[in-house]
């Protein structure tokens, strides 16, 4: 943007009005840009196949003072009746994002090794329930709410939020050109 004029009071007022209009246009474009990116992210998250947990997770965009953000909400937590752990609450969102059991996502250290704790020493992944003894077995049993035993190896993470972020990053330049133009205006 180039503003030119003389240093008369009328020209200065006119230049100030142009700057105000430019700021307003820029703020509107930033809101459109963040809204468009949020839509792209939500679409990518919804396309991540997260099976039976899909009915427990809702993705929306919400307006903030800076623009739009993606919000993932659980419609409810799941109650499990596992052997020795009655009424354990399970987060469908965490299960889809990080998985469980043999398929759980672990922290990857800077050296490329996987660890079962965060850099600050906080344990993560399988076995974080109190008195957990069987978390690192290849498979284990759980009892469903009808009392039947099932064998499982865990839940594979589909990472809907990670997928959303990756797609938003991939589309950021094209979306910026779409909303802001090619830089000539």
Over residues 13-36, the pLDDT tens digits come to 887 888 888 888 889 999 999 999
46 and 90 housed in the same domain: no
- End-to-end alpha-carbon separation of the chain, Å? 7
Q: Residue 126: which domain range?
A: 76-158
DSSP character for 120?
Answer: T
103 and 152 housed in the same domain: yes
Residue 122 has pLDDT above 80, yes or no: no
What is the model's pLDDT at position 26?
87
Per-residue confidence band for 89, with pLDDT thresholds at 50, 70 and 90: confident
Does any domain span residue 185? no
153 and 175 housed in the same domain: no
94 and 145 housed in the same domain: yes
Cα separations in angstroms, 125 against 13, 52, 112, 141, 149: 62, 21, 17, 18, 23
Number of domains in the chain: 2
Does any domain span residue 4? no
139 and 120 housed in the same domain: yes
Does any domain span residue 116? yes
Per-residue confidence band for 124, with pLDDT thresholds at 50, 70 and 90: low
Nearest by Cα to 132 from 93, 82, 96: 82
């Amino acid at each position: 943007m180039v503003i030119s004029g003389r240093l008369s009071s009328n020209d200065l007022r006119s230049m100030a009005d142009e700057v105000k209009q430019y700021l307003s246009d820029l703020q509107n474009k930033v809101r459109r840009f963040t809204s468009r990116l949020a839509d792209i992210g939500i679409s990518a998250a919804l396309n991540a196949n997260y099976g039976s947990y899909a009915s427990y997770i809702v993705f929306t965009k919400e307006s903030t003072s800076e623009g739009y953000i993606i919000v993932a909400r659980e419609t409810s937590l799941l109650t499990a009746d596992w052997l020795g752990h009655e009424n354990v609450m399970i987060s469908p969102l965490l299960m889809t994002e990080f998985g469980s059991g043999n398929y759980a996502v672990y922290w990857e250290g800077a050296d490329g090794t996987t660890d079962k704790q965060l850099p600050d020493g906080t344990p993560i992944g399988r076995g974080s329930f109190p008195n957990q003894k069987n978390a690192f077995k290849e498979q284990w049993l759980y009892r469903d709410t009808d009392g039947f035993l099932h064998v499982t190896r865990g839940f594979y993470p589909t990472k809907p939020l990670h997928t959303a972020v990756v797609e938003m990053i991939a589309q950021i330049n094209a979306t910026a050109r779409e909303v802001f133009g090619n830089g000539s205006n």
